[in-house]
Amino acid sequence: MVGLGETYLPAFVLAISADQLACGLIATVPMLAGAVLQLVSPYAVRWLRSYRVWVVSCSVLQALTFLPLVAAASLGRMSLTWVFAVASVYWAAGLATGPAWNVWIESLVPARLRPRFFARRSQLGQVGLLAGFVGGGLVLHAAGAGEKAVGAFAALFLVAAVSRLASAYFLGSLREPLPPTEPLAPLRITRLVRSVRSSPNARLLVYMLGVQLAVWTEVPLPVLPQIQGSIAVTAISGCNM
């Protein structure tokens, strides 16, 4: 999903609009909108009384967001307003699964197995991401330029949608030994500040927030398309060696 779909969304925007500013902003503005929209997640989990139902529902919704992009790539056109709207829903659905999934997976994986489990899971995930990224670059390279290249995005987004639906299927097959039982209490700002001052884990989150702010501030630069093109060419050249 990430290697074939999410990664090539800026390139798709560039292909249908030739707007470098929109190409840069598509990587950040929808993520900001999605981060705001996903704040409904705790209330949805409380209403559904199930982490699994919420995570699977959001995963299916995230997969379905690729379908308008498939249609747009097939037709060769889509307004930037709709692209940003679809991308915002994509990010909202993806980010909304995070809090519920973190609590849910903790009840499924014993503490003594978690380091090895998540290390192995991360390795496999990175391999899949790299395979999707390189495979997508090869497909777009073979498609060339013009309308044929725009149509190639339809195939990439379709595979991304199917991949996310497969993920939703496997998530739905997992059990939920500890559904949410306690009412969710809001975290007040004063308590959050005290936690940051006293907890090493909280200070780590602040550090990660700073890193993310730095990274995502520089992403929407006008040179993003050239950077992506250089990476894709490098990946393709490496595969041909």
Which domains, and CATH codes, for the chain? Answer: 2-240 (1.20.1250)
Query: What's the confidence (pLDDT) of residue 226?
Result: 43
What number of other Cβ atoms are within 10 A of residue 13's Cβ?
25
Longest CA pairwise span in the chain (Å): 57
- What is the chain's pLDDT, residue by residue, as a tens digit (241 residues)? 888 888 888 888 887 776 777 777 777 778 877 777 778 888 888 888 888 999 999 999 999 999 999 988 888 788 888 888 888 889 888 888 888 888 888 888 888 898 899 999 999 989 988 998 898 888 888 887 666 777 888 889 999 999 999 999 999 999 988 877 766 666 677 777 777 777 777 778 788 888 888 877 776 654 444 434 433 433 333 333 3
What CA–CA distances, in Å, run from 91 to 27, 38, 48, 88, 115? Answer: 10, 8, 21, 5, 27
Cα distance from N-terminal residue to C-terminal residue, the chain = 27
- The pTM of this model reads 0.76
Query: Nearest 5°: phi and psi at 220?
Result: -80, 40
Describe the chain by its helix, strand, coil percentages, rounded to 5.
80, 0, 20
103 CB-near residues (< 8 Å, 6+ apart)? 51, 180
Query: Nearest 5°: phi and psi at 183?
Result: -65, 145
Query: What's the confidence (pLDDT) of residue 62?
Result: 93
pLDDT digits (tens, 9 = 90+) for 23-35: 777 777 788 777 7
What number of other Cβ atoms are within 10 A of residue 188's Cβ?
9
Q: What is the dihedral of CA 36, 67, 161, 209, to 10 degrees?
A: -20
Query: What's the confidence (pLDDT) of residue 233?
Result: 37
What number of other Cβ atoms are within 10 A of residue 80's Cβ?
15
Query: What's the confidence (pLDDT) of residue 237?
Result: 36
